[in-house]
Amino acid sequence: MSDAQQPDDTTAHTEHEHHDTEGPGYATPQAAIEESEPEEVAYVMGLYVGTDVDAPDFLGVVDVDPDSDTYTEIVDRVEMPNRGDELHHFGWNACSSSCHMDGLERRHLVIPGQRSSRIHVVDTKDRRNPELESVIEPEEVFEHDLSAPHTTHCIPDGQILISMLGDADGDLPGGFLALDENFEVDGRWEPPGEIEMNYDYWYQPRHNVMVSSEWAAPKTYYPGFDFEDVEAGNYGQRLHVWDWENKTVEQTIDLGEEGLIPLEVRFLHSPEATHGYVGAALSSNVFHFHEASEARSASEQSSGDKPRDGDEWRAESVIDVEAREHDGWDMPVPGLVTDLLVSMDDRYLFFSNWLHGDVRMYDISDPANPRLADRIWAGGHFGDPAPVQDRELAGGPQMLQLSLDGERLYWTTSLFSSWDNQFYPEEAERGSVMLKADVDPRNGSMSLDEEFLVDFGDLPGGPARAHEIRWPDGDCTSDVWQ
């Protein structure tokens, strides 16, 4: 339970006024909370890669309106034109960071294929019946010596930026690809050679900063997880702090052995904030990163450490999920923190332990000292094996998405096809599920909604995997403010 107070910087706007807001999104995070309507549909990635179903991946439209006759059903699917894309993460062409781009709409979803390097553009003008509009073929991506697109963010001038995890051959280094407002490849965003490994990123334009994380070379993680790759140093453990305007790396933070495979990066939503988090999947830690001068006092109090000379940003492990013994494993099982998000009011941090099977909720009113508020067990290797609506769960909590008002938390269960088949082989036969928890942000608690189940194993074409979730009006893992 939480008795936390609201942070006082959520609505602060001292340097960037919104009197003439004409663009997409909301003027402030607080406006997103107060002005948004409850979500009615969710866009969810559906995959057949790594299953026995010979069909292309698709974008699923899930009815999440409890007053609808088709509640919890997949009411429409946009099938991609090719097989084997491995649709993974996707994003909007515009968000609240484009607040002054008159005429720009949050209307198109940019959907990369992780394995194919093909990039799809879907028009969601009709929210319940979106349509595929165009496709960027892999050859156009390879021309810039990049492959394996991952995180898609709109950026303030109407462009779209995509993190790329490999070069044209699937080796290192990765980089970033920019698309223009017409969804055509604009070129490489950063000077080549700024980083080796890449994965997720988040930017805070008011502070002229971007932070990116590391997974590995596509050729390393495509076949599945191999511990020898860890011992050989083929997986990442660093954060990169960028000069956002100059597109250059200004600082690299080595998280050490406690920071193996740092994946999702989340800044607090307030454009004034210089605090954020990253989940280190294999080490099963959550790191708090921050501009050293902003949080020095709190950090010193909690750890006794001093910022190193010359380091403008620093990161400390603030949550550690202990590995657990399991009869079927030769080694202690890590929680595998694979996704995390921050509530729109910057009050709570949620993350998933894909292998253990729990979703956790932390009070982050003091960003340097998160406090466990509540957790839910559902599936996983240690979680509650009880079926939901007689449906046995074949996986653990993975991709998360929270309603803008912070009262409904949703998640799916697929991570990556080859890793799914390694750690939850039954999911290829049964398909994924999408589950939901009701959240009480006032008291800091949540409970599994037993009435909510979206079964991706019960589709006409055969069981599918379910991955990332997006809302038409923006969400806690895509919107950025100036």
Mean pLDDT, rounded, for 270-289: 97
pTM, two decimals, is 0.93
Q: How confident is the model at residue 5 (pLDDT cuts 50, 70, 90)?
A: very low
- What pLDDT score was predicted for residue 10? 41
Residue 353 Cα to chain centre, angstroms: 14
Residue 3 has pLDDT above 50, yes or no: no
Residues linked to residue 400 through DSSP beta bridges, in sequence order? 411
Q: How far apart are the first and last CA of the chain?
A: 33
Task: Look at residue 243 and give its three-state secondary structure.
Answer: strand
Residue 21 has pLDDT above 70, yes or no: no
Residues linked to residue 454 through DSSP beta bridges, in sequence order? 434
439-450, pLDDT tens digit by residue? 999 999 999 999
CA 211/CA 276 separation, integer angstroms: 9
135-166, pLDDT tens digit by residue? 999 999 999 999 999 999 999 888 999 999 99
Residue 120 has pLDDT above 90, yes or no: yes
407-440, pLDDT tens digit by residue? 999 999 999 999 999 999 999 999 999 999 999 9
If 0-12 CB within 10 Å is exposed, 13-18 middle and 19+ buried, where does residue 296 land?
middle
- CA dist 147 to 127, 163, 177, 344, Å? 30, 9, 9, 32
- What pLDDT score was predicted for residue 307? 42
| High-pLDDT (> 70) share of the chain, % | 92
Q: Which contacts (CB < 8 Å, 24+ apart) does range 370-374 have?
A: 370/286, 370/288, 370/318, 370/319, 371/2, 371/4, 373/1, 373/2, 373/348, 373/444, 373/445, 374/1, 374/444, 374/445, 374/446
Q: How confident is the model at residue 308 (pLDDT cuts 50, 70, 90)?
A: very low
